[in-house]
Amino acid sequence: MPTADVRDGMIGTGYTVSEGTRPEPFTVEVLGVLEDGIGPGRDMIIVRADSPAIEAAGGIWYGMSGSPVYIDNKFVGAVAFGLSFGPSNVAGLTPAEDIVRVAERAAATARIAPRRVELDSSTQRAIAEDAGTSQSSVSGTMKQLKVPFSISGAGAREFRKVSRTIEREKLPFVPYAGASSGSAAPPAATERPEQGGNFAGAISYGDITFAGVGTTSYVCDDKVVAFGHPFFWQGKTSLGANLADALTIVDDPTFGPYKLATIEDTLGTLDQDRFAGIRALLGDAPVGIPITSTVTADGTTRDGETDVLDGEFLPFLSFIHLASNIDFTRDQISEGSSSLDWTISGTTSTGEPWELSRSNLYSSDYDISYGSIDEIIGQLYRLYTNGFDDVSFTGLDVNAVIEEEPMEYKLSKVLVSKDGGEYVDVNKVKVDPGATIGLRAILEPLQGTTDKIVDLTVVVPATTRTDSFIEISGGGVGRFQDTYCFYEPEACGGGGDSKIESFADLLESLESAPHNNDLVAKLRGGRGKVKSSDIESLDQVVTGQDSIYVRLRGSGGGASGGAPEGK
């Protein structure tokens, strides 16, 4: 039915699911039409909806998005908006004309979707009259209905992190703990979706299944439109399309009523995310980016997999996947140490494959789960926002071995020797250009009583003309302090010592950065440039740092020859 033919007082029937999979009818009465109320050329049809289920829930619930409405056996529109002040029987419909255009792949403007729509005074008056209340008590806006968001496989703290992210990014989602659903490219469902039935749009499958739940609005041949509003408003996309099974309508005091549903068989690929709805092509599911992990802890080994359908979500979902798999394999959240090796793979914008492989040791006296994965997640964000090439991810594979006790050495003292002389406890040394400086690091083990002694050497280049300083530290100390590197990767290297000028440079920098179990000595000159260095790899993480000031002879007084200057 053209929106121009819709009139106040018309009576129709809508269909939605409150429990199970069978659509149930509800009655609607048209209260008015907001011409261009949503945006240019985007009308909204205002209706009052009634049914026993709606009355029991106190009004329209989250998850009714996409519920189709018919008048005189003609498709009028789909439920997409509700009054902003809370649950109500008043709903806003996305017109059928707009929904059909999504099915036909009409072009859409990529801009931020309006989540709220102002009501004019006449519409507010009509709503007030229908509700038997004063116009002043009616909210002046309608808002897009939130999407119930099913999250599987996340522990309590990971679930809180997802909830905080949804709140911070102001995403219109109601998160709830759901069940996992299959893996990438599962077989297509044997049954077809029906108008008014449940519909789910999936971001990932497997251990960590993320999916939004709504209602199917329109089915024509092998095309399905649902929700009646956008998911992320990405335009062209490639997410999963699934059936769902509604368990109940939850009356949540915080969010309001929402549909609690499990994610069921895959329908095909969600290829359009437009303002008037999301479109799915029935058939093959999209191919996901596999996150695979093998976690061994306390004699237990678990293989996990999550298939992410959009690379933009890979860093965040990798964090949730790895943290949850480590937590549940250990069956505890506590201190410990770990050994990880991983490979991140992908392709460049021209289709050339690339790969980053690395291993490292970690130790934490508080939370080894999070402490083990920060570097991997940081690398994923660096690669995704690299600024050099529009790369794509093809996979992440991680092997992790977790131990009960934190294992690390702490740098407690550094002794200094000039040109093979006696080691002494100083923080300043005077040398000639070309001199060799010996360093003896005293390391205290966290477990045990015997100190570890490590000797390192740095050479002052013969061309040196200015004073310098030696920095001695564990390889991981300060490596991620320059947070701007996440956004300006060309400005710094993995260890801050080399300039990155290409995506290949970035890969090399991330792959070859010092490890947490490395003890590193660097002679730095003007502007922090490294002139000489030495490194020793140990069997445990190294923490702590120290520095020695290096003064060149003739650069400002002091004794000549002999032992290094004292403290």
Q: Tell me the pLDDT band of 134, cut-offs 50, 70 and 90.
A: low
Indicate the burial class of 335 (C-beta count within 10 angstroms; 0-12, 13-18, 19 or more): middle
Q: Quote the DSSP letter at residue 100.
A: H
Q: E strands of 145-234, at which residues?
A: 147-151, 173-177, 198-206, 210-220, 223-226
196-252 tens-digit pLDDT: 999 999 999 999 999 999 999 999 999 999 999 999 998 999 999 999 999 999 988
Residue 192's pLDDT is 87
Which pTM value belongs to this model? 0.84
CB 472, CB 456: distance < 8 Å:
yes
**What digits encode the pLDDT tens for the residues 297-324?**
988 999 999 999 999 999 999 999 999 9
Structure tokens at 267: 């329908």
d(CA 226, CA 80): 10
Mean of all residue pLDDT scores within the chain: 86
pLDDT of residue 22: 95
Using left for φ > 0, alpha for ψ between -120 and 50, and beta otherwise, residue 37 falls in: alpha
In words, the CATH class of domain 3-144 is mainly beta
For residue 557, the model assigns a pLDDT of 43
pLDDT at 184: 57
93 forms beta bridges with 45, 79
Q: Where are the domains of the chain?
A: 3-144, 147-282, 319-403, 408-479+514-552
Helix, coil or strand: residue 477? coil
Q: pLDDT per residue over 56-115, tens digit each?
A: 999 999 999 999 999 999 999 999 998 766 678 999 999 999 999 999 875 434 333 444
